[in-house]
Amino acid sequence: MRMPSRRDLPPPPPPAHLREWLDESAVRADRARFLADLSRRTLGLGRLVLLWLTAAVFALGWTFVSTAVMTFESGEGVEYLFGAVFALMGLAVLVPAGRYFVRGARQERRVHRLLCAWAVEDRDPGADTGLRAPVRSLVWLVASLALGALGLWTAFTSAAGARPGTETVGQIAYFMGLGMILWITALLGLAKAATHYSWSLRARRPHPKRAQAVATTTPIHSRPAKSSLAGV
């Protein structure tokens, strides 16, 4: 699955001084289309699969590193060479995975900034109802909670059930590190679901300028009259 580049992202909203020269209906249509696209990029099921695949790559690299540690603990002579090979394989997996993760985090920030910028641009609570994406948010929430519970169980049971002489330090470190990878992945998923939910609530609020315009265009006879006893 390819990570979207900057060229694939929608453009930012037009500046205020250019809005006077643009068709308002076209701007609203672009806003609805861009918000739907950015919402899918943020909370799409493909992003969840990509997050879990990244976690699986980190788990693979940690497996190589832990195998190297266990080889160093129990081996001697030529087995140290195998341990060094496993350590190099772990670094060969973890270093590119870390770079990819950092690149993805930066891309997520760009998407979120565009999402917030377009959300405050001429808000339309009626048209923005579908941006909440309750089904996708629920999938992210439930899947992340399940993964986090699995990660915590893996980490704590490996540490609590360790017995001297039966398990090595490398074995305990492997299961604790694996549980930590699962737990951190779950936290990232929960953070994305919570961030999208709070953003959708802000996006559905009416724009202050539009609300003020509606208030000023309200007929006088429909406004509540002030009491003549006010101030008495």
Residue 147 lies in a domain: yes
Residue 179 in this model has a pLDDT that exceeds 80 = yes
Cα distances from 189 to residues 45, 112, 133, 159, 192, in angstroms, run: 11, 15, 15, 25, 5
Residues 200-209 have pLDDT tens digits of 776 655 555 4
Q: How confident is the model at residue 101 (pLDDT cuts 50, 70, 90)?
A: very high
Statement: the pTM of the whole predicted model exceeds 0.85: no
229 in a domain, yes or no?
no
Of 62-71, 95-104, 110-119, 220-229, minimum mean pLDDT range = 220-229
Predicted local confidence at residue 55, as pLDDT: 95
pLDDT of residue 21: 76
* In-domain check, residue 133: yes
Q: Look at residue 81 and tell me if it is in a domain.
A: yes
173 alpha-carbon distance from chain centroid = 28
Q: What is the pLDDT of residues 114-127, one digit of tens each?
A: 888 887 776 666 65
Specify if 105 maps to a domain: yes
Helix (H) or strand (E) holding 162: none
In a domain, 103, yes or no: yes
Per the CB < 8 A criterion, the answer to whether 51 and 185 are in contact is: yes
> Quick check: is 222 in a domain?
no
Render pLDDT for 27-82 as a digit per residue (tens, 0 to 9). Answer: 888 888 888 888 888 888 889 999 999 999 999 999 999 999 888 877 666 778 88
Give the range of the structural domain holding residue 43, as residue numbers without chain letter: 23-211
Instruction: Note whether residue 6 is domain-resident.
Output: no
Number of domains, the chain: 1
d(CA 189, CA 184): 9
Q: C-alpha angle with apex 228: 225 to 232, nearest 5 degrees?
A: 135
